[in-house]
Structure 1
Amino acid sequence: MGKYIVNLNEVPMGKITGRETRDLINAKTVGSKGISLRITAVLPGALCTPGHIHTECEEVIFILSGQGEIKIGQETFPMKIGDAILLPTGVPHLIRNTGKEVMRMACSFSSNDISRDLKSEEGMKF
């Protein structure tokens, strides 16, 4: 890994219920001060549990492949290739892959360490 450029294949894969993640840009990988980037692969038919809230940052999701649904607060929206989704600070959200292929997403956060402001919403359902 370099000071400014990180290759997807150079970072370890994390596994969270229903998905695989790779954290490309954050405080640990490149020393970013206020932003991070994660690539997430949601498995076919998977529900990404638990729903959660980012208490101190916003998130933007861009759908690279596949299709799914996202629940933002009390509303549910379809997601498809090319969609960009804004998740405001403090708003609960939950994602599921409704397709037969992996749904890939680029997820950017206005924080360099998203683990510190993550709050679980265990009871959230579609």
Structure 2
Amino acid sequence: MNEVPVGKITGRETRDLINGKSVGSRSISLRITDVLPGALCSPGHVHTECEEVIFILSGQGEIKIGEETFPMKVGDAIHLPTGVPHLIRNTGKETMRMACSFSSNDISRDLKSEEGMNF
């Protein structure tokens, strides 16, 4: 994983381990996302053409899915259906690491911001 380029976005770092570009995947992607303590993964967003599954590897936080907010902790798995807005924040004192899997080989093509979404 250390050989994978790191994407730096405000409050988080991402590593795209599997996707169409990196390994020629036709229909899936896997990303590791590290969210810094107290950081918000903003803006909220929606995937217009794919589903997402998030698995919490370390840390804790909360996720807003549509209008509902849920806690997240180590071992939790969260399913995000296509077209559902979501927003994540780290509520802990350590980095929250998530494995994020998508039913698309290029998640950038169907990502739509939900600028007004907040906790």
What is the TM-score of this pair, normalised by structure 2?
A: 0.99
- How far residue 10 of structure 1 moved from its aligned partner, in angstroms, is 1.5
- How far residue 97 of structure 1 moved from its aligned partner, in angstroms, is 0.1
Unaligned residue ranges in structure 1 (runs of 5+): 1-7
1:62-99 deviation line (CA, Å, top 9, x unaligned): 00000000000000000000000000000000000000
**CA distance in 2 between partners of 1:15 and 1:70 (Å):** 20
2:109 aligned with 1:116, yes or no?
Answer: yes
SS of match in other structure, 2:78: strand
2:14 aligned with 1:37, yes or no?
Answer: no
**CA distance in 1 between partners of 2:94 and 2:28 (Å):** 29
Aligned partner of 1:106 among 89, 99, 111:
99
Residue type of the alignment partner of 1:31: G
**CA distance in 1 between partners of 2:71 and 2:87 (Å):** 12
- How far residue 48 of structure 1 moved from its aligned partner, in angstroms, is 0.7
Aligned partner of 2:61 among 62, 65, 68:
68
1:4-51 deviation line (CA, Å, top 9, x unaligned): xxxx11110001121100000001110000000000000000011000
**CA distance in 2 between partners of 1:10 and 1:24 (Å):** 10
SS of match in other structure, 1:10: coil
Residue type of the alignment partner of 1:47: L
2:79 aligned with 1:86, yes or no?
Answer: yes
| Runs of 4+ with >2 A deviation | none
Rg: which structure is higher?
Answer: 1
Unaligned residue ranges in structure 2 (runs of 5+): none
SS of match in other structure, 1:57: coil
Query: Identity over aligned residues, as a percent?
Result: 88
